[in-house]
């Protein structure tokens, strides 16, 4: 038996894939950073306005307290409804020209009163799921367009306006 034949996919047999919808929301300013904002959720279960406000408040408060030290960078936020009440809040910034850095927060249902940093153990960790990668793919292309531009104020504004909406 070959190595390929011995591979076992890490997918539950009951899993049925369904797309989600990525929507652009108003950007958020955190200190000197201005970040684009995306919601990702099933079409029939969009992110509740109160949840979005809670997420924005959590990031603003973390910035005010010095817990988020982003500096004057560009990037984006993804607020992802993963299940009935679980949400990831991903803060991604471009650093060193070609690196995407990420801070992960989460809120686990109605019993969890706020978004908080998501603890991860071990050396092999998750990054983005395939729904989030739809937004990341667009943002990578938008960042390349910015890097190939004059990188002046007009180009920075064009980057902030270069957003994505659609099925992921």
Residues 21-34 have pLDDT tens digits of 999 999 999 999 99
Say yes or no to pLDDT of 118 above 80. yes
Confidence class of residue 13 from pLDDT cuts 50, 70 and 90? confident
pLDDT at 75: 98
Largest Cα separation within the chain, whole Å, is 58
pLDDT at 49: 97
Residue 37 half-sphere exposure toward CB, CA atoms < 13 A: 16
Q: Is 39 helix (H, G, I), strand (E, B) or coil?
A: strand
Say yes or no to pLDDT of 5 above 80. no
Confidence class of residue 153 from pLDDT cuts 50, 70 and 90? very high
Confidence class of residue 137 from pLDDT cuts 50, 70 and 90? very high
Residue 143 half-sphere exposure toward CB, CA atoms < 13 A: 21
Q: Is the pTM of this model over 0.85?
A: yes
Selection from 17, 14, 48 nearest residue 168 by Cα: 17
Helices 130-147 and 153-161: crossing angle in degrees, nearest 10, is: 160
Please answer whether residues 27 and 37 qualify as being in contact, where contact means their C-beta atoms are separated by less than 8 angstroms: yes
- Mean pLDDT over all residues of the chain? 94
Confidence class of residue 84 from pLDDT cuts 50, 70 and 90? confident
Please answer whether residues 90 and 102 qualify as being in contact, where contact means their C-beta atoms are separated by less than 8 angstroms: yes
Beta bridge partners of 29: 34
**Domain ranges, ordered by start, for the chain:** 20-119+126-167
User: How far is residue 36's CA from residue 92's CA, in Å, rounded to a whole number?
Assistant: 10
Tokens, residue 73: 């960078």
Q: What percent of the chain has pLDDT over 70?
A: 100
Residue 99 half-sphere exposure toward CB, CA atoms < 13 A: 4
Please answer whether residues 74 and 146 qualify as being in contact, where contact means their C-beta atoms are separated by less than 8 angstroms: yes
């Amino acid at each position: 038996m070959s190595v390929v034949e011995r591979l076992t996919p890490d997918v539950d047999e009951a899993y049925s894939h369904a797309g989600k919808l990525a929507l652009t929301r108003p950007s958020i300013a955190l200190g000197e950073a201005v970040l684009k904002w995306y919601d990702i959720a099933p079409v029939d279960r969009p992110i509740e306005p109160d949840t979005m406000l809670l997420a924005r408040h959590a990031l603003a408060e973390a910035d005010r307290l010095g817990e988020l030290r982003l500096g004057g960078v560009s990037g984006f936020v993804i607020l992802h409804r993963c299940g009935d009440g679980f949400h990831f809040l991903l803060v991604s910034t471009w650093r060193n020209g070609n690196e995407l850095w990420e801070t992960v927060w989460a809120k686990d249902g109605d019993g969890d009163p706020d978004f908080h940093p998501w603890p991860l153990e071990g050396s092999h960790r998750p990054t983005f799921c395939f729904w989030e990668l739809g937004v990341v793919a667009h943002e990578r292309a938008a960042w390349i367009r910015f890097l190939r531009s004059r990188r002046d104020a007009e180009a920075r504004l064009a980057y902030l306006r270069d957003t994505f909406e659609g099925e992921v």
